[in-house]
Structure 1
């Protein structure tokens, strides 16, 4: 109780005793943000990561309200707080805890607005599009993707424009709009080819490369039922995927399995599904894809020995 009283007194101390925040504080919080992004790449959207990112967002906002700073430092810290909130939102989406994801959206948009940070706002709307897609709200997912595409950063950096178009392609594919989906994939590739990959960008953009573009193209082609094209993009993705992106590897092997199963290739499909890293099989989105694969496999070939082997494998891993 004494410690709590002392802490409370420190928080309400006169402004003359408040420390002035500076670039070192921004760098310290950005280093924590980079660690959060790295954990997401490796482990996916766990509940622990979601809670950790949300706590860091609160810590960053609290830092502002208990210290003084210049307008520039204040804006930068609001941007970091928005990025932490977006990371918490994304962890909830990736883990398929959608009811927990939605409340983060307004908070992230507000903080990004206070920061006047176009990069973070792009990220927030990009995540919102994926959230709406999983909530079964296709019009909202397209609107969110268009909002991300409309941010000014996409006009100055083709890599951001490429990511916006690649995500938009998957949402058009969701509603069966093949023409718009394929056009968006083409624009995503042409923008990516024009981009400067050596340009300094926030750590949460590090995941986007040719492998990720092929991964999103795989998703789009799967939703359009274009199995051979989906398989081609999945193989291209796996050939270029960086080893630290374990969650993405799980997603791609699951998608490859679905693409091969769509062509009736049961044995290679089961082999691909079994290559999903064990630690990733319980990730929300990966688990959803593997459950879809299992349903389709048992419908297509209920008595096949490969189906039996796959079901035994899933039960043993449960």
Structure 2
């Protein structure tokens, strides 16, 4: 049998090595069986090279849970007794019932949910964050995060727990939903993002966790900004900024101010934009970098992200020299794992250069965006398409325009 190119491509979307996929398959079975699975890199090799063409039993369940889709959509033949495609609500009910059955001890006493369960959820959440930073906007990341939120809620029903642990489980479910929301925002799937937001907000209220409340409302502000609804963007971001943690921790205050500055930029208010960014910078300088913060905050917010938001705002204000300066600062400070952010910043830098008449450098910058981001990240693809349109308006007969047109034809050539 031939190699499974579909599975290899889906692994590439999530940035998974063979060892990493095996680990995630093992973790996917743990809530159902009470212990991790026994998959290894060899299991994955057999799935990739065509040795295994019709996964059954635990392998089938683990793959479907990791990728959030039926086995047939991963390039495999369905089991000989193929199941009908399930309605999402029925699927969640099924997962919950299986988790309840699997978690119940043989002697009849209820299972105790504890800190080890929270640690497992947090490890899975860190995987989601890492996948998002590698790829961004992928539907697979969105689906996986939503499935993990459902898994966390199933855990709530699988045994007894203290109120503190239950709050942490709800916070984990809210965190997963907020990641699904962000992936949908980044992929320009705003209807899906809104649906995830509503669920995440409800879960965050049940958790009573100010950190995840901040994340959800801050994401909401960004979503409305991308949708061009600046009044709603400001209102949502103000909810995040009004939480008490922004008074306790200058780093959260800085992020709230920086995102508000980006909203001001999109609304065309240059004075408010600059004032808010100055305040965001001052707050960051006051922050204690050794203070506890959630993994999602530590993974992305730093000087580079502040400059990225400033770049976006000054582009919107048509202040191209300032935008270019922030782009260079952002690229210099970006951490190595921020692949998506690097692609977005590079694309915006190209636009800032182009608008200043630097056609050849702008084209070179745009063409340096990695091809996978250029073709598979919806936001980057949209911005590069806009770059090409603007280039052909500003300098239609230039060497740079000809080079870009050829590059675009080669990069976005439709498959036969």
Q: Give the TM-score range, shorter chain.
A: over 0.9
Which has more radius of gyration?
2
Tell me what 1:297 maps to.
391
Partner residue of 2:318 out of 225, 241, 244: 225
1:83-141 superposed Cα distances (whole Å, 9 cap, x missing partner): 00000000001111112111011111111110000000100011111111222211101
Q: Greater share of helix residues, 1 or 2?
A: 1
Secondary structure of the residue that 1:310 maps to in structure 2? Answer: helix
Which position in structure 2 is the counterpart of 1:10? 101
- 5+ residue gaps, structure 2, are 1-57, 59-93
Indicate the structure whose relative CO is greater, using CA pairs within 8 Å and at least 6 residues apart. 1
- Provide the C-alpha distance between the structure 2 equivalents of 1:135 and 1:96, rounded to a whole number of angstroms: 9
Q: 1:184, 1:199 → 2: CA distance?
A: 24
Deviation at 1:197, TM superposition (A): 1.8
State the distance in 1 between where 2:110 and 2:159 align.
5
1:40 & 1:165 partners in 2: Cα distance? 23
Whole-Å Cα distance in 1 between the matches of residues 100 and 179 of structure 2? 32
Distance change in 2, residues 1:137/1:8 (3 Å): closer
Equivalent position SS for 1:196: coil
Contact in 2 for aligned 1:228/1:259 (Cα 8 Å): yes
Distance 1:311 1:24, change over 3 A: same
Q: SS of the counterpart of 1:55?
A: helix
In structure 1, the partner of 2:271 is: 179
Residue 7 of structure 1: CA displacement? 4.0
What is the match of residue 316 of structure 1?
410
**Aligned position for 2:116:** 24
Q: Within 5 Å, which residues of 2 pair with 1:223-262?
A: 223-262=316-355
Match of 2:359 in 1: 266
Q: Could you tell me how far apart the structure 1 residues matched to 2:408 and 2:160 are? A: 55
Q: Name the structure 1 match of 2:22.
A: none
C-alpha separation between the residues in 2 aligned to 1:189 and 1:115? 31
Q: Matched residues in 1 for 2:129 and 2:379: separation? A: 17
Which of 94, 98, 111 is 2:186 aligned to?
94
Structure 1, 144-153 or 24-33: larger mean CA deviation: 144-153
* Deviation of 1:18 (Å): 2.2
Q: The residue matched to 2:193 in structure 1 has which SS? A: helix
Q: After the TM superposition, which residues 108-119 of structure 1 pair with which residues of structure 2 at under 5 Å, given as runs?
A: 108-119=200-211
CA RMSD of aligned residues (A): 1.9
Cα separation, partners in 2 of 1:7 and 1:257, compared to 1, 3 Å: closer
Distance in 2 between the 1:286 and 1:185 partners?
Answer: 24
Aligned pairs, number: 315
Give matches, 1:182-221, under 5 Å.
182-205=274-297, 206-221=299-314
Cα distance in structure 2, aligned partners of 1:46 and 1:125: 21
SS of 2:188 mapped into structure 1: coil
1:120 aligned onto 2:219: no
Contact 1:154–1:160 (8 Å) recurs in 2? yes
Gaps of 5+ in 1: none
Whether contact under 8 Å (1:246, 1:277) holds in the other structure is no
Counterpart position of 1:81: 173
